[in-house]
Structure formats: structure tokens, C-alpha cells
């Protein structure tokens, strides 16, 4: 699939903008294309521009142009959301992502390309999402996880888990690390949208990296740049391999590997930092979040320090004084 040859010009320009100017990954841009392609296929069928019997996947969007895009209404999009829910069985989270793609497309046409004077989806509501607190390991469970790392890949795996738990890396960021990204007590991380950030490495991270780099230096590698490689083919470790090793060591530590993952280790790092005095804005920079709202979910975790602070307030034990009958009658 190549949107550069398959997408009509009005969609292609939007996708190129996100890939070249916004710096989004190929995968993200491909997902935008698939979302928009499916929406306009539905739209053409819903507006009787093609046969009602035509399979949705066979409908071409090559003729999608500005007039068709301009005529889209909120009712059209809500009909599409209803189709995704009833006919495709998509949950609120999946439908919310598709709403975000449509919003982004029309925002681009209005504010960047200047092809629309008004944004027809400006008031588009997103499916209501259930807010849930992120799952994370507590301090004791985190230490158990590290204590149970064993086997022929122990130095590599221990280093990976240590970076997850101390630096809060995304799995894509960890897999993408190069040997040159380790710079003394700092780590260069390339995050979403190719945004670079520098993280300071604590003693545990530095020791784990030293042990792994000593082992790595004795290996004959196919990929000389990758920080983490597989011992089998000497190439950069894959996302799937990291998921697998995380699950393996969670099970070895007696933790439920179905409930936790590499991303939950990122949540763990964030929660432990917040519980131990890191302010939310600093945490935002550490995690590489664009918006503070994304980071603030961690302020809702069960923090014993907040409980202590609440109980310490001298007004915490005051009860409402009941008024006497005479006092009430005199008011």
C-alpha cells in the first residue's frame, strides 16, 4: 500500500503534510490514509454515489474531490460512527481514533490548505471514553521483576527492564536506540514525531548499560548501530522480541503477564517518579508528552503522600455542629 499513488490529491496532500512537516511515522500516516479511505468509501455508498450492493472494500475513492469533501455534514459522520459500532463492532476507543483522523483532515483543509472557509466538523463530538487509571507495578513488584532476571540474555534483558522502569521509555523508543545515543550519564531518545529529548541516567541505568555494553562489545554484530540486538541474528531487537522478554520475566517474578506489558512498565516509571516528589511538568518532559493533560492521568493514582497530607489538615476531624431547636427558630 502506497498512499502517494493510491490516494486522490486532496487526501495525498494532507498525508504528505503529516509525514514531511509534522514528522509523523510511515505507520501513523498509513493509518490516517486507511481511516480516511474507509470513511469516504462509506460516504459514497451512503450518498448513493455507488451501488448499494457494492462491497465497501471494492469502492474506489480516486474521484474524491473538494466538492464531495466540502458537502460532508456532522450527520454523515455520525452515520459513519453508527455503522462502525453496529456493523463493524468497533469500540469507543477505536471509533474515537477515527474521529480524530477526520477532525485532523478538516482542520488541515481549513487552517493550512485554506480550501475551506469554515470547518464543517468543528463541533464534531468524539465517542465518550471510559477513564481508567493506568495499571502499574508497585515498588516491591518492580524490584521483584528485576531480581528475577536470569538466563543467557540476562545482561541485555536487565538493562532493557531497568531503562523501562527508570526512564519511562516507549517500546518504539527503546527499540530505536543506537549505541551513539548513550552519552555518559545522558540518553538521547527519539520520540513521537521525531522529537528528540535528553534523559539523565541514574546509577542503576548506568551500571546496567555498562554490563550490557561490555557483553555487546565482544559480539560480532550485523547491526553495528543498534544498542539492543538479539543474540541469535545479531540484528536490532524487534518490538515483538521485547514484548516477549517482558512477559517472560514478569512470569518468572510471579506477576500476571496478562495484566502487564512493556507499556505498563512505562506507567510504572511515571507513577513511581510522581509518588517520590517529581512534579507533573518535569514528568511531562521525561515521558515526552506533547500535552500536560496526557501526563496528568498519573496524578490520579493512589498516592499515600496525598492521603497523609489530607489527614494532616487540622480541620480534617471537625464535624458539623448540630443547631438546637431554639437556634433554628431564631434564624
Q: 106, 108, 158, 298: which is the annotated catalytic residue?
A: 298
Active-site residue identified among 18, 24, 216, 266: 266
3 is catalytic: no
Cβ-based neighbours of 198, under 8 Å, separated by 6 or more? 186, 187, 188, 189
> Which residue in the list 12, 188, 192, 264 is annotated as catalytic?
192
Specify whether 130 is catalytic: no
Residue of 170, 243, 247, 264 with catalytic role: 170
Task: Write down the catalytic residue from 18, 156, 236, 289.
Answer: 289
Active site residue 200: no
Please, are residues 189 and 181 in contact by the beta-carbon 8 Å criterion?
yes
Check 107, 135, 248, 263 and give the catalytic one.
263
Q: Which residues have a Cβ under 8 Å from the Cβ of 273 and sit 6 or more positions away?
A: 168, 283, 286
Rounded distance between C-alpha atoms, residue 91 and residue 119, angstroms: 26
53, 54, 57, 59: CA torsion to nearest 10: -140
Task: Return all residues near 137 (Cβ < 8 A) that are at least 6 apart.
Answer: 145, 255, 260, 264, 265, 268
Can 289 be counted among the known catalytic residues?
yes
Active site residue 26: no
* φ/ψ of residue 197, rounded to 5: -140, 155
DSSP 254-290: T--TTT--HHHHHHHHHHHHHHTT--HHHHHHHHT-S
- 263 a catalytic residue: yes
**DSSP label at residue 90:** -
Instruction: List the catalytic residues.
Output: 170, 192, 263, 266, 289, 298
Amino acid at each position: 500500500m502506497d498512499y502517494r499513488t493510491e490516494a486522490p490529491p486532496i487526501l495525498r496532500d494532507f498525508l504528505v503534510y503529516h509525514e514531511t512537516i509534522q514528522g509523523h511515522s510511515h505507520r501513523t500516516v498509513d493509518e490516517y490514509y486507511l481511516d480516511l479511505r474507509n470513511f469516504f468509501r462509506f460516504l459514497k455508498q451512503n450518498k448513493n454515489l455507488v451501488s448499494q450492493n457494492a462491497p465497501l472494500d471494492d469502492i474506489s475513492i480516486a474521484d474524491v474531490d473538494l466538492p464531495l469533501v466540502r458537502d460532508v455534514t456532522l450527520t454523515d459522520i455520525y452515520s459513519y460512527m453508527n455503522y462502525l459500532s453496529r456493523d463493524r463492532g468497533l469500540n469507543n476507543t477505536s471509533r474515537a481514533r477515527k474521529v480524530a483522523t477526520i477532525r485532523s483532515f478538516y482542520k488541515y483543509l481549513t487552517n493550512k490548505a485554506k480550501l475551506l472557509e469554515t470547518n464543517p466538523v468543528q463541533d464534531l463530538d468524539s465517542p465518550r471514553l471510559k477513564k481508567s487509571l493506568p495499571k502499574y507495578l508497585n515498588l516491591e513488584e518492580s524490584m521483584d521483576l528485576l531480581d528475577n532476571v536470569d538466563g543467557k540474555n540476562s545482561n541485555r534483558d536487565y538493562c532493557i527492564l531497568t531503562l523501562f522502569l527508570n526512564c519511562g521509555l516507549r517500546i518504539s523508543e527503546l527499540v530505536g536506540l543506537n549505541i551513539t545515543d548513550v552519552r555518559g550519564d545522558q540518553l538521547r531518545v527519539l520520540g513521537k514525531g521525531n522529537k528528540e529529548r535528553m534523559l539523565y541516567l541514574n546509577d542503576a541505568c548506568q551500571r546496567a548499560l555498562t554490563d550490557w555494553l561490555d557483553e555487546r562489545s565482544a559480539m560480532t554484530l550485523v547491526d553495528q548501530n543498534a544498542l539492543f540486538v538479539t543474540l541469535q541474528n545479531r540484528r536490532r531487537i524487534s518490538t515483538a522480541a521485547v514484548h516477549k522478554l517482558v512477559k517472560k520475566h514478569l512470569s518468572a517474578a510471579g506477576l500476571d503477564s496478562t495484566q502487564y506489558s512493556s507499556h505498563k512498565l512505562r506507567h510504572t516509571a511515571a507513577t513511581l517518579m510522581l509518588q517520590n516528589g517529581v512534579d507533573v511538568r518535569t514528568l511531562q518532559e521525561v515521558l515526552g508528552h506533547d500535552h500536560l493533560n496526557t501526563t496528568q492521568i498519573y496524578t490520579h493514582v493512589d498516592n499515600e503522600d496525598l492521603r497523609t497530607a489530607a489527614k494532616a489538615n487540622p480541620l480534617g476531624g471537625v464535624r458539623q455542629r448540630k443547631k438546637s431547636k431554639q437556634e433554628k427558630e431564631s434564624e
